[in-house]
Amino acid sequence: MNPTVLLCLDGGDFRVVRELVETGRMPATAALLERSALVHTDTCSRIIEPAAWGPLLSGQPAGDVGFHNFEEFDPATMGTRFQQELVAEPLWLHLPGRGAGTITLDLPDCHPHPASAAAEACCWHAASPAHKPQFTETGLRSRLRSQGRPPQLTTHPPALGPEHERQLGNLLTRSARFRARTIQRVGLSRPLTCVGVHELHAAVHGLGHHGPDRHWFEPERRDPEHLARAYEAIDEVVAAVASQGEAMNVVLVLVRGGRPANHAGQLLEGLLERAGLLARPGANGDGPAAAVPVTERLRSLLPDRQREQLAMRLLPRSVQHRMASRRFRDRYDWQRTRAFPVPSWAEGFVRINLAGREAAGIVPPDEVDGLLNQVSALVRETVDADTGQPLAREIFRARDRFPGANADRFPDLIITWAGERPANEARHPRLGTWSEPPRAKLWTEHRGEAEVIFAGPQIRAGVELSGDELGLAPTVLALLGHKPPSTMSGTPWSDVIAS
């Protein structure tokens, strides 16, 4: 079998790649495409963005893999916990020796599995690292550290404007070139090498308003060059792989490209409160108004972003997490709260305060179905007060859409939004109008589609097909000459493999 290299381009948008390839600005990627098979797949991140990479890299459905949501609800404490990475069973665990001989470098959203024998680097050159760099093999650590410190990426630029965008573009170029040198330093001689490429994730949030979609956020001067230069730098990463010979298979995965943000989740709290399903401490039960704790009033004296930056600069991460957890726990009167929103980025998440599941649960199990119907109806009846258009596009019961071993990690309801931009004010025909500005300053969010480019001696060039997202992991195993195990739900995209 030929060596295989898996490049995971987090934030990669094939629409931008295609345009730049056609204009000759991504020559290494163009050369791959000329001898490639192409698979289009719709990932579960169309519904729940943080669940993108787990199913792709494991071949298991999201309900079994779970998802990370940075700050997620903790039913044991009624606060929150921070979970930025999955511990999913990756595809290389099904290779001989539990992946011995495999190298993985900063794969997006995935923490090293405790049973893995691969040489892995985690949070070394990643956007928004969850922890300090970790290495599972001393030799790999030595080779990486000999490169020096990688440029620090961020998915939250401090501001928008020509100067900040120019600085971000320069950072992404330096970072991609550093990554290309790293690949050359580590080498690609092992049977399987997996590399996470994070620059385009940062580009989505910081430069996505210069991308292919018409965007509600109009910059002073729309300049597609900002985004194009980031992709040109990524082409140097592709070139670093391709330059090591055509005797290996290259798998390029582009997922979570950009689209204009349209989140509205911050308005759910007001809806549930007005409907009598959520209560704040100190509320008298006659209306939605509630006494605001002194700590909350003090916190409000500083803008959210400034307060967050100050806390991150002065406080240990463990203290930041404890404060965030306590702040969420103390936000509601749990003895009178039947349904509540939980933290999310782009989607709306609602959870039932279920007796026997939540530590302070009050809703009997036999009332859950009716309560979910009630909340769903309330959301469907709510409109964006500025446009008059429905707030929600789709409402999913998570257990129906994502059944599996980790279904409890999901909220009870998942809501995707219908607007063309973030909503600031909502209106319900019986409950009135309320406003709440978006908490997350994200101008551009992620798309759910993924494109997978296969090139190499074992690939049937010219094939183009649509496939299930669970097919990537078993296809990579097949390229390495191994049959996917019966525990893996996905099946290979066999048409891309030459007989």
Per domain, the residue ranges of the chain are 4-260+445-496, 265-293+330-435
83, containing H or E segment: strand 79-83
- Strand locations in 239-317 (E): 249-255, 258-260
Instruction: Please answer whether residues 333 and 283 qualify as being in contact, where contact means their C-beta atoms are separated by less than 8 angstroms.
Output: yes
Largest CA distance in the chain: 72
Lowest-confidence region among 104-113, 426-435, 437-446: 437-446
How many Å apart are CA 205 and CA 53, to the nearest integer? 18
Check: CATH 3.40.720.10 for 4-260+445-496?
yes
Residue 279 φ then ψ, to 5°: -135, 145
pLDDT of residue 49: 87
Lowest-confidence region among 118-127, 321-330, 463-472: 321-330
Lowest-confidence region among 40-49, 183-192, 210-219, 369-378: 210-219
Q: Measuring CA to CA, how many Å separate 44 from each of 56, 393, 401, 409, 442?
A: 10, 16, 10, 15, 21
pLDDT of residue 75: 94
Instruction: Please answer whether residues 477 and 470 qualify as being in contact, where contact means their C-beta atoms are separated by less than 8 angstroms.
Output: no
Q: Which amino acid is at 167?
A: Q
How many Å apart are CA 323 and CA 199, to the nearest integer? 30
The residue whose two tokens read 């019986």 is: 430
Burial class (CB in 10 A: 0-12, 13-18, 19+), 12: buried
Q: Is the pLDDT of residue 300 over 80?
A: no
Residue 150 has a CB neighbour count (10 Å cut-off) of 19
Closest-CA residue to 444 (of 421, 426, 416): 421
pLDDT of residue 157: 67
More confident residue, 156 or 105: 105
Residues in Cβ contact with 212 at an 8 Å cutoff, skipping those fewer than 6 apart? 13, 15, 16, 19
Q: Is the pLDDT of residue 436 over 70?
A: yes
Q: Is the pLDDT of residue 302 over 60?
A: no
How many Å apart are CA 85 and CA 70, to the nearest integer? 8
Rounded to an integer, what is the distance from CA 488 to the centroid of its chain?
A: 22
More confident residue, 32 or 244: 32
pLDDT of residue 283: 67
Instruction: Please answer whether residues 332 and 292 qualify as being in contact, where contact means their C-beta atoms are separated by less than 8 angstroms.
Output: no
Report the pLDDT averaged over residues 368-389.
Answer: 98
pLDDT of residue 50: 85
